[in-house]
Amino acid sequence: MTEDHVPARARLWLFVLGGLVIFFLVVPVLIVIPISFSDSTLLEFPPRTYSLRWYRALLESLEWRDAAWMSVKVAVLTTIVATPVGTAAAYGLHVGGFRLAGVLRLLVLAPLLVPVILTAIGIFYLYALLGLNNTLAGLVLAHTMLALPFVVLSVAAGLRSYDMAQERVARSLGAHWFRAFRSVTLPQIRLPVLSGALLAFIASFDEVIVAFFISGGEMATLPRKMFSALRDQIEPTIAAISTILVVLSVTTVAVVELTRQQKRQG
């Protein structure tokens, strides 16, 4: 009998099953890495000979480079717009007091609840009327809308564990509310704001379905281009892109995790 009253046998089974589930979650993501270094057009595993030909193909392809650049632009702009807008909304809703605040707190989560395909065709229809399909502004606006709940949820969680009295003290000493917010509150909710910004970036960078409808040709984002490429053929060029994206996401997780641990120790 162990301290937590889980018998050794049950514990063993639990750890075997848990380990297998983690294996199921992690290994498929990593499998694209060796395949991207294969020398063959076949998707063999393990590859018989290794080479960098798929990375070379990727670098030489103007289409892939354009798509990657497009995605970076859209995601950066989305982050720049969604972070302050979402933070302001989270702050306003948190301090609240005005009528409708309760309803608005639920409505701001709507982009998570409405099926993405419905959002996508709705925006496509609207943009067709406004001439915003296949434009950078259109993509950034749509992605900002989709990213807002992530920023709001993250900042709201930060504000809940923050003591508002500090800001009231600053204001009672004569600081204008914006000054009080900027120099007292904001520094203390810095991490939730940053993680909201990171989530906004990822939400935009990974977004497939809305981009599928409202971007194409030269304005195609990376996921949009991958979507078409996957439909046509599943050659290792995509494995090379996937490897780059996996390395990026693993780095992100590691950095976030390390910051969190440092914060806990500090």
Partner 1 sequence: MSLGLNAAGIRADARRERATLAALTAPAFLILGALLFVPVGWLFWLSIHGDNGYTLENYTRMVVEPAYASVFVTTFELSLLVTALAVLLGYPLSYMIALLPPRAASACLTLVLVPFWTALLVRTYAWLVLLQRHGVVNSLLMNWGLIDQPLALVYNFTGTVIGMLHIMIPFLVLPLYANMRAIDRDYVRAAASLGASPTAAFWRVYLPLSMPGLAAGTVMVFVICLGFYVTPQFLGGGRVTTISMKIQENVATYFDWGAASSLGVVLLVITVAVFWGFSRLLPLRRLTEVSGS
Query: What minimum distance in Å lies between the beta carbon of 52 and partner 1?
Result: 19
Query: What minimum distance in Å lies between the beta carbon of 42 and partner 1?
Result: 8
One-letter amino acid at 74 equals V
Q: Which is nearer to partner 1, 50 or 125 (CB)?
A: 125
CB burial of residue 129 (10 Å; 0-12, 13-18, 19+): exposed
Query: What minimum distance in Å lies between the beta carbon of 24 and partner 1?
Result: 7
Would you say 204 and 79 are in contact if contact means Cβ atoms under 8 Å apart?
Answer: yes
Would you say 211 and 221 are in contact if contact means Cβ atoms under 8 Å apart?
Answer: yes
Query: What minimum distance in Å lies between the beta carbon of 70 and partner 1?
Result: 15
Would you say 214 and 123 are in contact if contact means Cβ atoms under 8 Å apart?
Answer: yes
Say how far apart CA 224 and CA 226 lie, in whole Å. Answer: 5
Query: What minimum distance in Å lies between the beta carbon of 212 and partner 1?
Result: 8
Q: Which is nearer to partner 1, 14 or 52 (CB)?
A: 14
Helix (H, G, I), strand (E, B) or coil at 38: strand
Q: Which is nearer to partner 1, 136 or 246 (CB)?
A: 246
Q: Which is nearer to partner 1, 154 or 219 (CB)?
A: 154
Q: Which is nearer to partner 1, 58 or 93 (CB)?
A: 93
> Using omega within 30 degrees of 0 as the cis cutoff, is the peptide bond preceding 236 cis?
no
